[in-house]
Structure 1
């Protein structure tokens, strides 16, 4: 991967609050990259520093190997699409898209051609004369995207780009964003708190926690092999079970079970995804447990069972509809899982 943008030990404080803590990160040329985290994780602060709207207290931000810390926002080959879209209500769609071109002094004929191309790219050809109040939420988002893309940035920053859309429109727009990113060849950096959005769209995901990168990698890799308790719980709400490594495997008193698999000797916790657990005829040997169903929630393709294990821990179990009706509340169940589904956690 050729690095386009590199953050080196970026630190940012707001009063007594440490927003970014010596954060290191590299984003590749032409990559769709997601900054994922909860409120206060530092993802939006990092986005604003990349855009030039905030200055770090320490560290360096390199674009193509050049420090851009002192470069003002308008002089960076970077554009940002704000969560609110920030459209000018008194301007037409075409004038909104043209705003950056006019400030950059692009000649009228070239500007008109680029505006028309950008609107066609986002599926709004013929909408140039409309005003923002005449558009739906999804159309407003496309205008904001066209206004960013018309500047032909090397790097496009997206602040919760799908957050204001309903579920059906979010999915469709997400695919369109992905297609646009491939078509333009620009690197997209998206901030989101929605793990499904990040996993579905990004080439790589950086999971932020407390101003640091907790884990970074391709979506499937960080989902299937979380590195820490935090990553396991945040991504897919995995079951995290405490215990100790023994000659027999990993023994968890709270689960009343022994986990066997390729686990390092010093393992102190393991993660187990709800969808990797199945209801078994009997619970005998390692990678099995017994428990009682405390609650059941129907979710469409599956049902989520909350199973209280014999050791006292609560286990989330995804029961597929194709496996028949789920056991009801109060039912005693035996559970089993494959050794490959047990993930050792480093912290």
Structure 2
């Protein structure tokens, strides 16, 4: 049985639909990340589950029990806010112990569990320090310890790494994943960082305009996006317009080329996705499908590779990845020959 089941959630703010008949299941011990643009409904979804917002309709089932009418403090879950929401007048230990104190946990048990939580996030020796004396990363750890000390089956995290710099964010992200495995709790994390979502999650759920448009293991969602939005949002795939040619291929006027996937393209296909890193530069043109040519308009160095913007023969602007191990990228203004495998072509319906 799912730990959390959301059924038909609808939430509006005035004329704006924040959640549109959304269904979602979360398994026990699962790390799920919610991805989507601003206004897609990610944080609203967390707040409905936590009880800080009330849905107009639908059910929030935790272990089969509908908790829609249960107040936030009485729900057997915790939420970690992006701002961390630490009490400035309380010490690190006081912040972590706050929820236990409200629940009338005996002092000896409270002290033991606070010590365990601080050890879990490696903040031993910080018990008496006030929040203003902590770094951003340390504040994040205090907030996480406070959320974990009550041993919830489900932890909600709203952009928990957003205030950290890039290096600390990556390291803390992996520590967060290790903590999730160690505690066995299910985590639902909202993030705008696609790399973070792909690296940490067991499963990624992509929201658009309050609807769940695709959910699955990170690699599956990345490599086989279901819609134009998912293809463009997650990893910046090239979304190529055209129409099926009736013979299993897909005619793309913007490339002046025919695309062929591993399976015949059916009549319902509205576009095809092609990842930049799946396109290769060839020394000479190739005849047939899955090949084109164009002119390099821009070159951007990105560390381990370069991103080329190539104006294809039919006018489409393609994003093309060029690995550093393949030598220097072609300069602006040069003509390049492009090719890709059938496995790189992903038909899209929406």
Match of 1:277 in 2: 279
Q: What's the offset of the Cα at 1:244?
A: 1.2
- SS at 1:179 equivalent: helix
- Whether the 8 Å contact between 2:34 and 2:206 is mirrored in structure 1 is yes
Q: What's the offset of the Cα at 1:306?
A: 0.3
Q: What's the offset of the Cα at 1:249?
A: 1.2
- Whether the 8 Å contact between 2:248 and 2:265 is mirrored in structure 1 is no
1:306 equivalent in alignment to 2:309: yes
Structure 1 stretches (4+) deviating beyond 6 angstroms?
Answer: none
Match of 2:211 in 1: 212
- SS at 1:22 equivalent: strand
- Whether the 8 Å contact between 1:263 and 1:343 is mirrored in structure 2 is no
| Equivalent-residue separation in structure 2 for 1:11 and 1:234 (angstroms) | 24
**Aligned 1:110-129 pairs, distance under 5 A:** 110-129=109-128
| Equivalent-residue separation in structure 2 for 1:136 and 1:263 (angstroms) | 55
| Equivalent-residue separation in structure 1 for 2:253 and 2:219 (angstroms) | 30
Match of 1:264 in 2: 265
**Aligned 1:150-229 pairs, distance under 5 A:** 150-229=149-228
- Whether the 8 Å contact between 2:249 and 2:265 is mirrored in structure 1 is no
**Aligned 1:296-335 pairs, distance under 5 A:** 296-335=299-338
Q: What's the offset of the Cα at 1:144?
A: 0.3
Match of 1:290 in 2: 293
- Whether the 8 Å contact between 2:248 and 2:264 is mirrored in structure 1 is no
- Whether the 8 Å contact between 1:263 and 1:344 is mirrored in structure 2 is no
| Equivalent-residue separation in structure 2 for 1:145 and 1:341 (angstroms) | 40
- Whether the 8 Å contact between 2:248 and 2:266 is mirrored in structure 1 is no
Match of 1:95 in 2: 94
| Equivalent-residue separation in structure 2 for 1:278 and 1:41 (angstroms) | 34
| Equivalent-residue separation in structure 1 for 2:201 and 2:337 (angstroms) | 37
| Equivalent-residue separation in structure 2 for 1:330 and 1:296 (angstroms) | 10
- SS at 1:3 equivalent: coil
Deviation string 1:214-265 (CA, Å, 9 cap, x unpaired) is: 1000000000000000000000000010111111611111111111121432
Q: Which runs of 5+ in 1 are unaligned?
A: none
**Aligned 1:64-79 pairs, distance under 5 A:** 64-79=63-78
- Whether the 8 Å contact between 1:156 and 1:189 is mirrored in structure 2 is yes
| Equivalent-residue separation in structure 1 for 2:24 and 2:192 (angstroms) | 18
- Whether the 8 Å contact between 1:283 and 1:290 is mirrored in structure 2 is no
Match of 1:32 in 2: 31
When the two structures are aligned, how many residues end up with a matched partner? 346
Deviation string 1:17-43 (CA, Å, 9 cap, x unpaired) is: 110000010011000011111110000
- SS at 2:126 equivalent: coil
Match of 1:339 in 2: 342
Match of 2:108 in 1: 109
Match of 2:140 in 1: 141
Q: TM-score, normalised by structure 1?
A: 0.99
- Whether the 8 Å contact between 1:271 and 1:343 is mirrored in structure 2 is yes
RMSD: 0.8
Deviation string 1:57-95 (CA, Å, 9 cap, x unpaired) is: 011110111111111111111100110001111111000
- Whether the 8 Å contact between 2:309 and 2:318 is mirrored in structure 1 is yes
Q: TM-score, normalised by structure 2?
A: 0.98
- Whether the 8 Å contact between 1:238 and 1:274 is mirrored in structure 2 is yes
Match of 1:253 in 2: 253
| Equivalent-residue separation in structure 2 for 1:34 and 1:295 (angstroms) | 33
Match of 1:53 in 2: 52
